[in-house]
Amino acid sequence: MKFGIWLDFRNPERWRQPWAEVYEENLALATDAEELGFESVWLSEHHLTDDGYLPSLFPALAAIAARTSRVRLGTAMLLASLTHPLRLAEDAAVTDLLSGGRLELGLAPGYREKEFEALGVERAQRGARTEETVEILRRAWDGEPFSYAGRHFTVDDVVVTPVPDRHPPLWIGGGSKAAALRAGRHGLRFLPDLGTSPEILDLYRRTLAENGHDPAQFGVTAIVTPGVYVCEDAEEGWQEIREHYWYLLNKFQEWFGNPGLPSVDDLPRDLFLVGPPDVVAEGLRDRVKPLGDVERVIFFGRAPGLPADRARRSLRLFAEHVIPQFR
């Protein structure tokens, strides 16, 4: 099994640092990930947040590419419904070329109401816009003139240049039935949460086969949410990380329109993998097993506001003592 880290470059007000420092620290963590032996680094996108959640993935991926040579570079996720597919095809092609062909493009329709309202996109169209984007990307990266007429995008006799040396792998993110069907119909790889039900994975593989694709040729990358934090002492580690995980969970609850947890003491500790390497490894095994064949696991490399040195210590312990248990 391969492992990757996931970064979002957040800078919450409670732990606010100069923005340039936050970006430099996260770029350094991405570089460290390669040196430690992680297989990939993934970035995720949101817009118009109060904590600076990374809004522009390709410049950050290109910056990581310039500092690394081996690690795969992915998006988990890029909000495909909020971007014109021709611009997306161009940005992805340039980033893939700059990285030497290391780009992995994970796409999701998005869900946060405020983003759709501010960017002038109807939220109800997000699934269909994502599917049309997949079709246009594939045509665009062939480097030949093409036209396309869909419900949401129309392209008339265009040629996209430059083109990547080969099409970057495309992933569909999410743990829903709709996401599994979308990935299976289009013959794309699937990027669900580890908490996704096995039935959803079965649906994905069945849909691949029904659409003429061999499921054995399509890997699954699973995301560990809400978080992983490796430390030498579980109780000390929990005290270091719990305020940051409380922030993380409450922010997601806010975006989904759900009530947050009133205090950090209400945080359900068993949601998170926090503890020494053997404890974390066992927890990962328990979460991966129901999903069957998972080729890669990724997790937040740095919780929002967590000091970079603590994030780096956790990643080092994971690399040195957890990854070897899955080889």
Reported as a single tens digit per residue, the pLDDT across 24-39 is 999 999 999 999 999 9
What tokens appear for 166 in the block?
């080969």
Report d(CA 117, CA 47) in Å as an integer. 11
Query: Residue 170: what pLDDT?
Result: 98
pLDDT averaged over every residue in the chain: 97
Neighbours of 121 (CB within 10 A): 18
pLDDT at 109 over 90: yes
**Structure confidence at residue 129 as a pLDDT band (50, 70, 90):** very high
pLDDT at 327 over 90: no
Domains of the chain and CATH, by start: 2-241+269-326 (3.20.20.30)
Average pLDDT of span 132-143: 98
Query: Residue 277: what pLDDT?
Result: 98
pLDDT, tens digit (0-9, with 9 covering 90-100), for 220-270: 999 999 999 999 999 999 999 999 999 999 999 999 999 999 999 999 999
Query: Residue 125: what pLDDT?
Result: 97
pLDDT at 317 over 90: yes
Query: Residue 7: what pLDDT?
Result: 98
Q: What is the pTM of this model?
A: 0.97
pLDDT at 151 over 90: yes
Cα–Cα distances (Å) from 7 to 164, 167, 179, 184, 289, in that order, read: 24, 24, 22, 27, 25
Residue found under tokens 């946060």: 112
Cα–Cα distances (Å) from 113 to 9, 54, 96, in that order, read: 21, 17, 30
Percent of the chain scoring above 90 in pLDDT: 97
**Structure confidence at residue 78 as a pLDDT band (50, 70, 90):** very high
pLDDT, tens digit (0-9, with 9 covering 90-100), for 51-72: 999 999 999 999 999 999 999 9
Q: How far apart are the first and last CA of the chain?
A: 7
Residue found under tokens 């069907």: 181
pLDDT, tens digit (0-9, with 9 covering 90-100), for 175-231: 999 999 999 999 999 999 998 999 999 999 999 999 999 999 998 999 999 999 999
pLDDT at 292 over 90: no
Q: State the virtual CA torsion across 300, 180, 141, 110 in degrees, nearest 10.
A: -60
Percent of the chain scoring above 70 in pLDDT: 100
pLDDT at 122 over 90: yes
Neighbours of 252 (CB within 10 A): 14
